[in-house]
Amino acid sequence: MPDHLPPTMPLDALGVRLAARAGRLAGHTSSLAPGFVQGNLAILPAALAGDFLRFCQRNPKPCPVLGISEPGSPHIPELGLDLDLRTDLPRYRIWRQGQLVEEPTSIAHVWRDDLVAFVLGCSFTFEHALMEDGIRLRHVAQGRNVAMWRTSIACVPAGPFAGPMVVSMRPFSPADAIRAIQITTRFPGVHGAPVHIGHPHLIGIEDLSRPDYGDAVEVADDEIQVFWACGVTPQAVIAAARPDFAITHAPGAMLVTDLRNSSLAVL
Amino acid sequence: MPDHLPPTMPLDALGVRLAARAGRLAGHTSSLAPGFVQGNLAILPAALAGDFLRFCQRNPKPCPVLGISEPGSPHIPELGLDLDLRTDLPRYRIWRQGQLVEEPTSIAHVWRDDLVAFVLGCSFTFEHALMEDGIRLRHVAQGRNVAMWRTSIACVPAGPFAGPMVVSMRPFSPADAIRAIQITTRFPGVHGAPVHIGHPHLIGIEDLSRPDYGDAVEVADDEIQVFWACGVTPQAVIAAARPDFAITHAPGAMLVTDLRNSSLAVL
């Protein structure tokens, strides 16, 4: 248990969850519990959960489902035995009619018996695999958020859920781009292989200096731009669907699970 | 046995070898025995074979070894039980002091007890896998040879064998380029994943309209150029080393083996 660990030891996944649960962690999770899978959170009323799950099934690259709670349950044991989705993320966003109304550090006060929670894979896992292979990620080196754009690629709709695919872009040398395609192909549960390389205008991206989300990143003339489906897609789709009620994680404040990143490699 | 097959039936690997052996086939093998592995042939005196094998080991992308004969033996049973390297290719090239001196349909008259034969993987195998996946190859559609260039990428030398890597280029849509990287990654025994994408000047290719070998191919503005290590590399390296005596296949007149293309997939 983390209570027994010396304070200089890095927290493991449970340690991060307990810190968030105790109110001692309200910020980003990006460098915490290295090696453990972090996930995007989306919580919807059960009446919409079937439509949303169908949306995820039809759009697995932006919406890779890692776990789903039973209706009314804030637990997903396969992602962490003790895990409590009401308290274990550092910060949440509460949406009503598609409007952001609150950014609390717990959602215990708004939990309902009809809520269904979805945990979706996140690029942290494949970024970890890239860095373990010695590939440098410029936005990480510069301490920025990855650059993201809405594209002209339409998601396959399901019920009220529809909209464009959001992608993240990372620039690489040609050799690293090839290697990055190989490595991320092994991780279909966290966006998988890129959806595009090299010609951003073909997917509706006109201005590389102005991402729709995150921070712009420099691209050298001799680099290849590599685009992955992004977990912002389901959040944008949920906001656009304007459900009466929804909860997501706050940007960067992810659910830290007990799964190892390497366990999501298909080979 | 092919003698029992109706004449309209496509030849299998043994049928191609028997036709070459009988002198009924002296041309290209590219569309023959579909699904079977075809290989590049290089034959050297035993005194040079160790150096050449070391060269292949150090440069596996251009020189993937599928089989090696015992010194003096024209057989490689693991590639075909009946296989006779002196007769089973449609056409050969005989080199003396690095000069092409003869292009016979059999090398029985020049076989020696000190010769060692190398069979190296060839791009036909991964091209077959690409086409089976529905990816169109422009040079195939246009009935041309693939475009090839000497690059600024130096092979790792071994003994007298040294020189630049030769690459072949195929243009694809970005989505097909990603898929082609995934598919060819599964085939390390036949050049494997590409060595470069997108910026030919970075590997010393200045004029895309003038390949060093093969035929030029059009590249559209919205395509990605994908470059693979090429089996012309060992032939160019052998020619440059000017051994007293060497034999290779004639361009396009490959050894057809009993291996299935799919058997070379590592997964």
Residue of B61, B173, B195, B197 to mutate, testing the A interface (most A Cβ within 10 Å of its Cβ) = B197
The confidence score (pLDDT) of residue B3 equals: 44
ipTM confidence score = 0.87
The span from the CA of A200 to the CA of A75, in Å, is: 40
A residues 220-249 lying closer than 8 A (beta carbon) to B: 222, 224
Residue of A30, A195, A36, A189 whose CA lies nearest to A121:
A189
What residues pair up with A168 in beta bridges, in sequence order?
A: A148, A228
Rg over CA atoms, chain A:
18
The span from the CA of B96 to the CA of B101, in Å, is: 7
Q: Does this chain's domain B2-122+243-264 share its CATH topology with B124-233?
A: no
Contact between chains at A178 and B198 (C-beta distance less than 8 A): no
- Residue among B181, B198, B222 minimizing CB distance to A181: B181
Q: Phi, psi at residue A135, to the nearest 5°?
A: -85, 130
Which segments of chain A does DSSP mark as H helices, in order?
Answer: 13-21, 46-58, 123-132, 138-141, 174-185, 232-241
Q: Phi, psi at residue B82, to the nearest 5°?
A: -90, -5
Encoded tokens for A170: 């990372």
User: pLDDT tens digits, chain B, 267 residues: what are they?
Assistant: 344 444 455 679 999 999 999 999 999 998 899 999 999 999 999 999 999 999 999 999 999 999 999 999 999 999 999 999 999 999 999 999 999 999 999 999 999 999 999 999 999 999 999 999 999 999 999 999 999 999 999 999 999 999 999 999 999 999 999 999 999 999 999 999 999 999 999 999 999 999 999 999 999 999 999 999 999 999 999 999 999 999 999 999 999 999 999 999 998
- What CATH number matches the domain at A124-233, 3.90.1150.10, 3.20.20.70, 3.30.2040.10, 3.30.390.30? 3.30.2040.10
Q: Does B167 touch chain A (CB under 8 A)?
A: no
Contact between chains at A198 and B177 (C-beta distance less than 8 A): yes
The confidence score (pLDDT) of residue B128 equals: 95
Sheet holding A164-172, edge to edge: A147-154, A164-172, A224-229, A196-197
Q: Which CATH class is domain A2-122+242-262?
A: alpha beta
Place of tokens 């009220």: A160
pLDDT tens by residue, B52-104: 999 999 999 999 999 999 999 999 999 999 999 999 999 999 999 999 999 99
Q: How many CB atoms lie within 10 A of CB B244?
A: 12
A vs B, Cβ pairs < 8 A, gives 54
The span from the CA of B249 to the CA of B104, in Å, is: 10
Nearest chain B CA: its distance from A142 CA (Å): 25
Residue of A153, A176, A181 to mutate, testing the B interface (most B Cβ within 10 Å of its Cβ) = A181
Residue of A85, A82, A71, A66 whose CA lies nearest to A12:
A82
Q: How many CB atoms lie within 10 A of CB A136?
A: 12
Chain B residues with beta carbon closer than 8 angstroms to that of A175:
195-196
Residue of B100, B130, B82, B34 whose CA lies nearest to B247:
B100
Q: Does B137 touch chain A (CB under 8 A)?
A: no
Contact between chains at B178 and A198 (C-beta distance less than 8 A): no
The domain made up of B2-122+243-264 has a fold known as PSTPO5379-like (3.40.1640)
Q: What residue segments make up the domains of chain B, in order of their start?
A: 2-122+243-264, 124-233
The confidence score (pLDDT) of residue B5 equals: 43
Which segments of A146-259 does DSSP mark as H helices, in order?
Answer: 174-185, 232-241
Nearest chain B CA: its distance from A202 CA (Å): 8
Nearest residue of A to residue B176, measured between CA atoms:
A196
Contact between chains at B174 and A199 (C-beta distance less than 8 A): yes
HSE-CB at A150 with a 13 A cutoff on CA atoms is 10
Low-confidence ranges of chain A (pLDDT < 70): 1-10
Describe chain A by its helix, strand, coil percentages, rounded to 5: 30, 25, 45
Q: Residue A249 CA to chain centroid, in angstroms? A: 9
